[in-house]
Amino acid sequence: MATKFAKELRIKSGGKVHLSKYDAEETLGWHKGHKMEASLEKAVQRIDNLQYRLSAERNRALLVVLQGLDTAGKDGTIRHVMSGINPQGCNVTPFKVPTAEEAAHDFLWRIHKAVPAHGEIGIFNRSQYEDVLVVRVHKLVPKEVWSKRYDQINEFESMLAANGIRILKFFLHISKEEQKKRLLQRIDDPDRRWKISEADFHERKFWSDYTVAYEHALAKCNTDAAPWFIIPANKKWFRNLAVSHIIAETLEDMNPKFPAPTVDVSKLKFS
């Protein structure tokens, strides 16, 4: 199947975003099975090969941003999609509640510190967008403060892109019913209970508020330099397939090159 995931799942520029119009069950015609598994394996292998070239080139980097409501699958996406690459060339940064030091700086300070160096793939588990999502929903700062952050984020991402950082932003889209199902699975599964927190259940009360906050963030911060993709994530296998293909397609578009040898290999001799 020759579906171009990036083309199908990227948000169109301009206009508003209404998440109710996006089906979290969508699979673009794909079905779970051997064909899907083979395609996922191939995409993961492509990522591994291209990451090796990116690491050798050391002129550019790739930043992958993962956002989504609780249980959307940020950890699972990282575990499955990045399973084949060399960990020396990949850094994962989870952004939790700011520490005292982080809170004493501007909201982008801790984000900029974690941006991948040239030659690396960086993955953000949550990101700068928490400061227009949870901060907005829970009124942690006044509207006049968080409302200015969309432009500040766009300027920040534009600056990164101008300095060789390719940016991909994925919103893992699940339904409220699917989230409830996954929370119940965590309760029933002893191996998953450690992931349960009271906050997961408390935050469900703000589902509608988070939906509006995400719709505004997706619309206001969807640029050519840092595009948003809405990934239907009710089906974990499709989530992994789509994200892996978009990352692989992006790295292929970047087309990293091996640098020329620093020595004349024809003159090298064994002693």
58 backbone dihedrals φ, ψ, rounded to 5°: 55, 35
121 half-sphere exposure, CB direction, 13 A CA radius: 28
Helix residue ranges, H only, 120-271: 134-137, 143-146, 149-162, 176-188, 198-203, 207-220, 236-254
> How do the domains of the chain map onto residue ranges?
34-256
The one-character DSSP state at 228 is: E
CATH 3.30.300.130 for domain 34-256, yes or no, is no
Q: What is the Cα–Cα distance from 172 to 91, expressed in whole angstroms?
A: 20
Indicate the SS3 state at residue 172: strand
Q: What are phi and psi of 49, to 5 degrees?
A: -65, -45
8 A C-beta contact, residue 147 and residue 167: no
Is the pLDDT reported for residue 3 higher than 70? Answer: no
Residue-averaged pLDDT of the chain: 94
Q: What is the pLDDT of residues 27-61, one digit of tens each?
A: 999 999 999 999 999 999 999 999 999 999 999 99
Average pLDDT, integer, range 259-265:
87
- Residues 96-114, mean pLDDT to the nearest whole number: 97
d(CA 132, CA 146): 6
Lowest mean pLDDT among 99-108, 194-203, 210-219: 194-203
Percent share of the chain, pLDDT over 90: 83
Whether 266 has a pLDDT exceeding 90, the answer reads no
pLDDT at 199 over 80: no
